[in-house]
């Protein structure tokens, strides 16, 4: 599927957007790409549909773009496979990888391109842009909390400069196609988002690659936080980190990961001991869904910061336990999650027994 008119045979930049069942958000992303301040024909947009069941194909058709939009459909295989598929079809020398909930500012593509162009020949560089909420979304309470507490690796507030492997984040990042291909792309053993980009970042750093953060390369993050989405993210983070640990043989420290390698009696004790407070916290978070901080602070619009401040402090204080509780609850309730941990143990040479201490495997 191609949108638009005629194009140069070899664009300078290939923008890769993997997507899965987010057709409405995707339209915002593609519309913003269609309005980029970059010469006509100098970049292409490649949408890789990872087996969506919604109207993703039609959403791509509806975008009116003067740039080329190429649509690729694949069986659901995860974002790592989708990005690799997009890279295989890319014709540009530079790959710009965006999430489908990224709505770029008009100068984003040009900014990435000129950052690479001014680098010395042979410099192996990945350029990371920033993400931020739109003004109207910043005031939604859960979005506000997401920006204030350690729910995920933050790019908010980072200063321009070089950063280590963990900052290879695929929300808004660019690198040369030849460098990407030399490393073999993303590891498709990761079934979902989180940690698959970090694993690539580790290989990137070990091969001499650098990651440079440029806060002027901006995109809006159009994805409202929900409690169920947050819980899903936490479990994906920990389970994908188990894959990462197995591949890298390096300890990826989280309290939840350590607890997964304790006897189930220890896990049950932890869940029982922390359950009441964690359920109270989850109830408080659910009461915030879809509500602005103004609604949480008082109907008359008067600024009463104690409510929000107290909630921020509570989440900061309880987040490590909430993180562990969510993961252990999922592990204990879900046979597939237990099977995944056991598979990791088998491939780690532990004879099928889940190790008491993950560091034993990590250093083995």
Residue pLDDT, tens place only, 347-362: 554 443 344 443 333 3
Give the residue from 162, 161, 108 showing the smallest Cα distance to 131. 108
> Is a pLDDT exceeding 60 seen at residue 304?
no
User: What are the chain's domains?
Assistant: 2-224 (3.90.550.10), 228-362 (no CATH)
pLDDT at residue number 105? 97
Q: To the nearest whole percent, how much of the chain has pLDDT over 90?
A: 48
Query: 146: exposed, middle or buried (C-beta count within 10 Å: 0-12, 13-18, 19+)?
Result: buried
Q: Are 70 and 45 in contact (CB under 8 A)?
A: yes
Q: Residue 306: which pLDDT band, with cuts at 50, 70 and 90?
A: low
Pure H helices in 100-155: 108-117, 135-138, 141-148
Give the residue from 158, 161, 248 showing the smallest Cα distance to 200. 248
Q: Residue 346: which pLDDT band, with cuts at 50, 70 and 90?
A: low
Please give the angle made by the CA atoms of 231, 235 and 236, to the nearest 5 degrees.
115
pLDDT at residue number 292? 84
Q: Buried b / exposed e across 57-85, counting CB within 10 Å, b at 16+?
A: eebbeebebebbbbbbeeeeebbbbbbbb
pLDDT at residue number 211? 96
> Is a pLDDT exceeding 60 seen at residue 119?
yes
pLDDT digits 0-9 by tens, 26-69: 999 999 999 999 987 899 999 999 999 998 999 898 887 777 88
Rank 119-128, 303-312, 355-364 by mean pLDDT and report only the highest: 119-128
Q: Residue 125: which pLDDT band, with cuts at 50, 70 and 90?
A: very high
Lowest mean pLDDT among 118-122, 231-235, 290-294, 348-352: 348-352
Total-model pTM: 0.85
């Amino acid at each position: 599927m191609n949108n638009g008119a005629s194009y140069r045979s070899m664009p300078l930049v290939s923008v890769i957007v993997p997507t899965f069942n987010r057709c409405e958000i995707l339209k915002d992303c593609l519309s913003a790409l269609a309005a980029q301040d970059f010469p006509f024909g100098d970049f292409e947009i490649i949408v890789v549909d990872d087996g969506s069941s919604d109207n993703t194909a039609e959403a791509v058709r509806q975008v009116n773009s003067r740039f080329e939009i190429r649509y690729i459909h694949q069986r659901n295989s995860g974002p790592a496979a989708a990005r690799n598929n997009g890279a295989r079809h890319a014709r540009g020398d530079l790959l710009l990888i965006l999430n489908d909930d990224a709505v770029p500012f008009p100068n984003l593509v040009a900014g990435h391109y000129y950052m690479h162009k001014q680098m010395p020949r042979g410099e192996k560089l990945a350029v990371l842009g920033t993400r931020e909420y739109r003004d109207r979304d910043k005031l939604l309470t859960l979005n506000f909390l997401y920006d204030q507490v350690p729910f995920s690796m933050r790019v908010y507030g980072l200063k321009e400069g070089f950063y280590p492997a963990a900052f290879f984040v695929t929300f808004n990042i660019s690198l040369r196609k030849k460098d990407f291909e030399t490393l073999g792309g993303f590891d498709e053993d990761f079934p979902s988002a989180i940690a698959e980009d970090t694993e690539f970042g580790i290989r990137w750093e070990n091969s001499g690659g650098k990651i440079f953060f440029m806060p002027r390369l901006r995109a809006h993050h159009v994805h409202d936080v929900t409690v169920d989405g947050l819980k899903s993210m936490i479990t994906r983070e920990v389970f994908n980190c188990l894959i990462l640990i197995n591949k890298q043989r390096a300890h990826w420290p989280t309290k939840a990961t350590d607890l997964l390698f304790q006897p189930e009696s220890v896990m049950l004790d932890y869940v029982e001991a922390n359950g009441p407070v964690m359920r109270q916290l989850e109830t408080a978070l659910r009461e915030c869904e879809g509500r602005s901080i103004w609604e949480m602070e008082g109907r008359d619009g008067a600024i009463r910061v104690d409510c929000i401040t107290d909630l921020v402090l509570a989440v900061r204080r309880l987040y490590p336990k909430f993180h562990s509780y969510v993961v252990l609850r999922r592990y204990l309730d879900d046979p597939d999650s237990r099977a995944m941990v056991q598979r990791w143990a088998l491939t780690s040479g532990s004879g099928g027994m889940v190790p008491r201490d993950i560091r034993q495997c990590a250093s083995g």
